Amino acid sequence: MKKLTVTIGIPAYNEETNIGFLIGDLLNQNQTNYSIEKIIISSDGSTDKTTEIIRNLKNKRILLFDNKKREGIAVGQNRIIKNTNSDVLVLLDADIRIRNPKFLEKLIF
């Protein structure tokens, strides 16, 4: 049976205090029945270190859109949607943490 591919989409604005932790939480998910193909972050004109933190992660699955001006969450979500062809797309808020290593598995299945 083929594993499902998953893209995680995260619109973000000034999330320097959390974004690195959230991405770490996602990369530590138990991926038995699926694989995370991409984590797409759309920074909506962030003026803090959000984009710098993401760039420093240097993970080939992470794709960053660094918008220089505020365009709103819907524009960020649409950008994410247009840049995925995975079996499943999960949109998350940038200010959350994921403690359960089976969070995505429970959400998807």
Find where tokens 């320097």 sit. 16
Q: Which residues of the chain have a pLDDT value below 70? A: 1
pLDDT in the model for residue 5: 98
Q: With CA atoms as reference, report the closest residue to 93 among 29, 4, 13.
A: 13
pLDDT in the model for residue 75: 96
Q: With CA atoms as reference, report the closest residue to 24 among 76, 97, 77.
A: 97
Burial class (CB in 10 A: 0-12, 13-18, 19+), 58: exposed
pLDDT in the model for residue 57: 95
For CA atoms 60, 76, 9, 93, the dihedral sign is: positive
pLDDT in the model for residue 2: 83
Q: pTM for the full model?
A: 0.95
Q: Within 48-95, where are the H helices?
A: 50-57, 73-82
